[in-house]
Amino acid sequence: MTLTLGEVLAIFALVAFGLHAFSAVRVRELALAAARKACRKAEVQLLDQTVSVKRMSLSKDVRGRWHIWRQYQFEYSVQGYERERGHVIMLGNRLQALVMAEPAGSAGPVDPPLDG
């Protein structure tokens, strides 16, 4: 059995897509875990128990290697009836930043929840 160049490229594309999809699911799980931990720490309720990707691009890390940069959005509530938005920034599979509104209403960063 001999594969044509087109068939080899199609197989390569399918494998690459599968690896990207698996990686994307894992990074989303890490972002959700960071949002849950930040909400617990701030004593607020994470609404919908989910994060959604809002932006994606390529960016370099501190070592100059390219990774996929993702910004996830989540919603939380302080009193149970109003919705506030927070953001989780991931570079590759590493947490870069987590931003939630401060109690006074001005936006500010929350320390990234890096420990397990």
Residue 62 sits at φ, ψ, to 5 deg, of -65, -20
User: Residue 41 and residue 33: Cα distance in Å, rounded?
Assistant: 12
| Residue-wise pLDDT tens digits, 81-116 | 789 999 999 999 999 999 998 654 444 555 555 544
Q: What is the pLDDT of residue 23?
A: 86
Tokens of 72: 């996830």
d(CA 20, CA 56): 13
**CA terminus-to-terminus distance, the chain:** 50
pLDDT in tens, 31-77: 999 999 999 999 999 999 999 999 999 999 999 999 999 999 999 99
pTM: 0.75
